Structures are given as structure tokens and as C-alpha cells.
Amino acid sequence: MPRPKNNRIVHEPPLFVEFKPTGIAGKNLEQKFLTLDEFEAIRLADFKGMSHEEAALEMGISRSTFSRLIDKARNNIATFLIRGQLLTIDGGNIHFKNNIIRCLDCGHMFKTSIDLPLSNCPACSSPDLENLAGGFGHGVCCTNRIHSQSKKGG
């Protein structure tokens, strides 16, 4: 029986979670998934240009685990591009470090710490806010992780 996977640290939720070829309805496409930790691996290595060692440290995993993760992510993206599939970012064993909140009234988006509760938009004071981390089922678990680490001194 394999070991359970440790949760990987993801900086913040992605702004966009679905990608597809233009001109074809998503319902007519085969779906390809990219997990949130694979998304983070691509962001760190290919977008930010970090080494595997630096990125692994950022995600709280070993360098060899990061290398396997980035290889899988790149293969999923290549498959999506070559086969013209619907790419959906979702799932994975993760905890968010930060969050993105979107105001449903004015459209203002702002970044915040995962453990900072917000009740009103700082731009228009609307209470109608969308928690992007919450859309992935995260928030309380990530906050509890941050607080338990700070009690341990880590």
C-alpha cells in the first residue's frame, strides 16, 4: 500500500480554471485535469523560473517529488495542447498560503492571507464576495494548518 501523499503548499488559487480550443463547445471535448499542485509546479518552475530545489522548498516537498510533479504537469499540458482537450484545474493534496477574493458587485479582485476573514469589499464595501480558495473547498483547513505551524514555531 502506498504512503499517503503529504499536502503541498500552493501560493494562491488560480484565477482561471478552464481552458479549451476556441470554436468548440466544452461539452464536446474530452476533459484533461491539471491538479492544483501541478499548476503550482508549472507556476514556480516555468513562469517564475525557479530551480527544482527552490520550488520544492516553496511547496514543502522534496526535490525528487517536485521533479515528478513537474514532469506530470508538463505532460498533461502537452496532451491538452496537442489533442485539443478541455483543461480543468482542480484537485490535488494541497493547502493554500494566500487567497484571492473577488467582489461580485464591482469586480474588484484582491489578494489576502488565507487566514484573514473579509466581510466587505475594500473598493465598494459590498458584502457579496467570492472566495476563490473556498471554490476549491479550502479555507478553514489551510487556516488551521497555518495556526498549528505557528504554535510549533514553523
The count of structural domains within the chain is 2
Residue pLDDT, tens place only, 38-64: 999 999 999 999 999 999 999 999 999
Q: DSSP assignment of 31-74, as one string? A: EEEE-HHHHHHHIIIIIS---HHHHHHHHTS-HHHHHHHHHHHH
Q: In Å, what is the CA distance from 65 to each residue of 5, 26, 38, 40, 69?
A: 10, 32, 11, 13, 6
Q: In Å, what is the CA distance from 55 to each residue of 49, 104, 121, 141, 146?
A: 9, 33, 32, 22, 19
Residue 4 DSSP class? P
**Which residues have CB under 8 Å from 138's CB, separation 6+?**
13, 94, 95, 96, 114
In a domain, 85, yes or no: yes
Domain end point (choices 73, 94, 115): 94
Give the domain range for residue 20: 8-94
Residue pLDDT, tens place only, 93-141: 888 989 899 999 999 999 988 877 778 898 999 999 988 888 787 655 6
Domain end point (choices 94, 111, 144): 94
The C-alpha atoms of residue 124 and residue 95 are separated, in whole angstroms, by 29
In a domain, 3, yes or no: no
Same domain, 109 and 44: no
Same domain, 63 and 106: no
SS3 (DSSP) at 29: coil
Same domain, 104 and 82: no
Residue 132: the pLDDT is 87
CATH of residue 50's domain is 1.10.10
In a domain, 90, yes or no: yes
Same domain, 109 and 148: yes
The percent of residues in the chain predicted with pLDDT above 70, rounded, is 86
Cell 473556498 belongs to 134
Same domain, 133 and 79: no
Residue 47: the pLDDT is 97
Asked if residue 147 has pLDDT above 50, the reply is: no
Asked if residue 143 has pLDDT above 90, the reply is: no
Asked if residue 150 has pLDDT above 90, the reply is: no
Same domain, 101 and 90: no
Same domain, 86 and 28: yes
Domain end point (choices 49, 65, 94): 94
Average pLDDT of the chain is: 87
